[in-house]
Amino acid sequence: MSKSTITIDVQMDESKVPEFISWSASDSTTKNEQKARAMMLSFWDSTEKTALRIDLWTKDMMVDEMTDFFYQTFMTMADTYGRATKHNEIVNAMKKFAVDFYNKFRSEQLKENKAS
């Protein structure tokens, strides 16, 4: 049996707000730490039937980056759900939601830019 270790380092300011996030994995093809501006980590507790989460983002994470991050996360969650369940109709609905979310943000952003 093999084992892989994932290490996440978070540097915080005096108010405990993340300033820097990096991660590495023992079986990664790259030996360097990877930098990140945001992360979402979820675990399923089957005893309590609840998701345990760690959601962090750094001070310099821009709103448009957060939108891209969520859009891509929604899409990959849909793909993962599809591989696990084969419920293609639900996968398509999840992806439609992701596209609608992204388009709504872009539309709101255009309105804000025109108002300025």
60-103: per-residue pLDDT in tens?
Answer: 999 999 999 999 999 999 999 999 999 999 999 999 999 999 99
Q: Let me know whether 18 and 38 are in one domain.
A: yes
Q: Is residue 1 part of a domain?
A: yes
Q: Is residue 114 part of a domain?
A: no
Q: Let me know whether 55 and 20 are in one domain.
A: yes
Q: Is residue 33 part of a domain?
A: yes
Q: Let me know whether 67 and 27 are in one domain.
A: no
Q: What is the DSSP string of 60-108?
A: T--HHHHHHHHHHHHHHHHHHHHHHH--HHHHHHHHHHHHHHHHHHHHH
pLDDT in tens, 11-68: 999 999 999 999 999 988 888 999 999 999 999 999 999 999 999 999 999 999 999 9
Q: Let me know whether 4 and 36 are in one domain.
A: yes
What's the predicted TM-score (pTM) here?
A: 0.89
Q: Let me know whether 74 and 36 are in one domain.
A: no
Which domain covers residue 50, as residue numbers?
A: 1-59
Q: Let me know whether 55 and 67 are in one domain.
A: no
